[in-house]
Amino acid sequence: MVPRLRFPPSPTGPIHVGNMHTAVFCWALSRALKGDFILRIEDTDAARNTPEATQLIFDALNWLGLDWDEGPDIGGDFGPYVQSERRPFHQRTIEKLVDEGHAYYGDDPANPATPSGNPLRLRMPRAGETTLHDAIRGEIRFENGRNQDPIIVRSNGDPLYHLATVTDDHDMGITHVVRGEDWIPSAPIHIQLHKAMGWDEPVWVHLPLILNRQGQKLKKRDPEGGYLIRDFQAAGYLPQALFNYLLLLGWTPDNAQEIVDKWDVRQQFRLERLSPSPSTFDWDKLNWMNRQYMQRFSHEKLAELLRPYLEDVYDELPLQNEWLVRLTAVIRESLNKLEDAVDAAEWAFADNFELTPGAQEALHGESARPVLTRLVAELAHVVLLDEATAQSILQGLRNGFKESDGWQPTAIFHPIRAALTGQTGGPPLAEIMAILGKNRTLQRIANALRL
């Protein structure tokens, strides 16, 4: 039998990284097993479903680079792939459960009510144990004496998640059910539904949870914020980096390698290498990984990705391609994500920047006015201020003031950097001067001399 795995999101709001972690692992296992990956939209919560949320699911999966073999958009042999359109399948399950005495209407199992206006409950066993055979955690046993008879169909006739998902998994030939460990408490209901219907159970795979910094399970409206897929997109995380990072939350590749791609996944992903331990979402690790992927881009490609972030904030200067590529080459080492370019490149756009305390101190030191005045004089003879020319001027200032006043490089370069960027640290000064050009460099020095 060809392995068949499904990702069944609910279209009730923006999709978050916890959902996508499940999707990534489900996709990875399907590809490693050379099986099928199915997308099924589970819209049983009619009051909260929206078409916009459904589109967000498609967009998030596509953005992360996950492809599927069957789904609402491409069809397949086991459709429909929207749960609300599968009511005839659910109804057959309901009728069989009732006819064979595995379910009853009302609240009293000894005196079943009529179907009209009453919920349908599954009869759960009261003796013995129900055993969940989990592919990651081994056997998990539940005492049946603690069971309550769960509602599986509302009083209005709408099937609840338990009945709908078990029915759909069986009818669609799902062989592996991959989901978060928070579904473990519901496993006895699903197992007993399989038993009542005489169906073989799938391979159960309960993934470890992803926790926020407070040690809480991630959710759509997480109090920390920033965990929605659209948050990662807006911040400028690369989809390849997020995909790679999510894989490492519960899976260990060969040789503990950290940068993996889809080929590695197909070759190495195995159930026995999945961890049952929860993982805390490590932003520092994601930032590091995002830098690794950004480093693969040429200056030109990275500049293309940075452009919309810069254009959204700065409109003082036209972003010509050549100039933007040069700027990108200067700031790229300071970026964790694309959004960081807005702050990292502020000096290249804004002439009215605020001075840091260190910059203020540098501009009020004894070396500031002599150094800046000498720099203005040197620039007066320059026609085109490129990096080589700027480097030559700076070297001359360093040698001259060291000889005449005994000043160290910081006494010379900190006032210049403070005048040009408002800070005392950052990219090489010669590169900054070349990007600003002669006129803007002179204007900023003039502004600093007025302080």
Letter for the amino acid at 63?
W
One of 34, 220, 402, 438 is an active-site residue; which one? 220
Which residue blocks in 227-340 are alpha helix, DSSP H? 229-235, 239-247, 262-268, 283-294, 299-313, 321-331
Query: Which backbone phi and psi does 41 adopt, to 5 degrees?
Result: -90, 120
> Whole-angstrom Cα distance, residue 193 to residue 170?
11
Q: How many CB atoms lie within 10 A of CB 218?
A: 19
> Whole-angstrom Cα distance, residue 163 to residue 98?
13
> Whole-angstrom Cα distance, residue 70 to residue 407?
71
> Whole-angstrom Cα distance, residue 216 to residue 222?
9
Distance linking the first and last C-alpha atoms of the chain: 78
Task: Provide the b/e sequence for 112-141 (b: ≥16 CB within 10 Å).
Answer: beeeeebbbbbebeeeeebebebbbbeeee
The tokens for 443 are 């204007």
> Is 220 a catalytic site residue?
yes
Residues ≥6 apart with Cβ < 8 Å to 317: 349
* 8 Å CB contact between 24 and 225: no
Label residue 52 exposed, middle or buried (CB < 10 Å: 0-12, 13-18, 19+): exposed
Annotated catalytic residues are 220
